[in-house]
Chain A
């Protein structure tokens, strides 16, 4: 597989209300009633991403779009639908494929506003169905739709006011609802794969091959990892490959500067080309000037990986 066939993806946050529903000590983690997105930084990032070889941007929309179906979710400064369409057009003109992401994990759905406290109710399913339909249309039937669906645990919500987890059959019930809804629009679902870490047998028995998998690991130790949990995270790439799933492995400069390249190296050796659809870089910083350096370094890491491919 040549470089041109590979996805070199970048995760950008338009919305950022994906963590705590109350103020916490860590910067940016608490939800805000206004958009957090500096266009000056974004405008500088787009050409640099193009130059780096990025050919797909996953846009985490959250609360930052004035959805026609549910405007009550939007925060102050949220983009209008025409504004979003204009930006998607600009990305396409630059040779970058825009992909939507709405994270429906309960650990990351503060952006859903009142509906984040109505999980697994009729109202919730209706709202989520409406949003997926609207966003699929806004993106002109994208190739993929990233559903998030990561870290739905009590531990990840320990600092929230409202912690909720779908467990056992209910996690799958709701996930299948999302998968079927996305697929009904002719779009392929894409998720974070970390549910497999703690439920491997269940995951490989029930997860449809139609779902694109992004396992993620941000450490600097791979084959040589001695920590038991790190071994689980890394080996999940192998398990997904062993069970025949399509993958877009995900690295980051969140914790260090070597992870992305090492993710590429590790997965290139272990995942068959027909199932290795590409790589995703997830810096996890808001698209704000205060985080310019982290974003530009992340883009540079992709450029290096693309050159070395």
Chain B
């Protein structure tokens, strides 16, 4: 039923998940900063609008924006204390919104891990990953889902990074399964971006647990008459459905204002309701006043899609 749908919104607390070096070749927002980029004035305005729009879940990209007790060395100087985070999580719940944690462990998006981002697949790294997942699950009081990211781990996506690293072949799966295991042991359900399937469809279908919630994503305008790789990206929804994965398709106003509605329309037709848990809006902008317009526009797009489905 449409009423049961998740209408999720991705909220970056920190935005250190892009470039590890200054470069003019990438947008400024993707460059690491040694301070938090989160304006509470904007967040405070967003929260009631999210509620009004029908958003019932917020996925918080924590990164280095929390002073983890297990690994305080990761935190930015102005990172939120655990108490501050808990206060905000309670505020969301009071507004009827379910908070879900996200820590992106993709090598392309883990500059927030500090020194551990240069120690992937070592004993020290695995310890840190497990520690953080356990602590965050506790901070979120046993969340229903735990988003692990794990997208875009390719050389091309790291071409502007100083340090580029990719887990390949069996190692990607080894590390991913370790993370899923850590999430499941803590009583939560793992959730990931599904783009690994684009380039490794057979491997993905053979190895990916059905327990892992899938968010394929596509931000273009076209859902037919495709160009280039668009068909691969869009029909991944169909591939995931064909193989029985639970999905939360993801759209955005990153590139245009029609994608989110198009994503909803496409997936309502192509994904069985039993496996279509909801939709996810990702603005891909920091939660700062500079990007207020983009966030407000995104919330409006969710509201419109939500109303359309509710008809």
| Residue positions of A touching B, CB distance < 8 A | 22, 114, 117-122, 154, 157-170
Contacts and interface: CB of A to CB of B under 8 A. Distances in A.
Nearest to B107: A164
A171 to B, nearest CB: 8
A164 B169 contact: no
B162 A118 contact: no
Interface in B150-168: 155, 158-168
B119 A162 contact: no
B118 interface: yes
A170 to B, nearest CB: 4
A186 B195 CA distance: 51
Contacts of B159: 167
B242 interface: no
Interface of B: 21, 23, 115, 118-123, 155, 158-171
A121 to B, nearest CB: 5
Nearest to A124: B118
A157 B158 CA distance: 15
Contacts of A154: 155, 164, 166
Contacts of A22: 169-170
Q: Do most interface residues of chain B lie in helix, strand or loop, or is the interface mixed?
A: loop
Given A117-B121, A169-B21, A163 B162 contact: no
A166 B163 contact: yes
Contact of B155 (A114, A159, A165, A168): A165
Contacts of A161: 121, 167-171
Contacts of B167: 161-162
17 contacts: A117-B120, A118-B122, A120-B118, A121-B119, A154-B155, A154-B166, A161-B170, A162-B120, A162-B166, A162-B171, A164-B165, A165-B164, A166-B164, A167-B158, A167-B159, A168-B21, A168-B23
A246 B120 CA distance: 38
Contacts of A121: 115, 118-119
B119 A158 contact: no
B31 to A, nearest CB: 13
A163 B165 contact: yes
A97 to B, nearest CB: 37
Nearest to B161: A167
B229 to A, nearest CB: 19
- Max chain B C-beta neighbours (<10 A), residue from A114, A154, A157: A154
Contacts of B170: 22, 161
B162 A170 contact: yes
Contacts of A163: 155, 165-166, 168
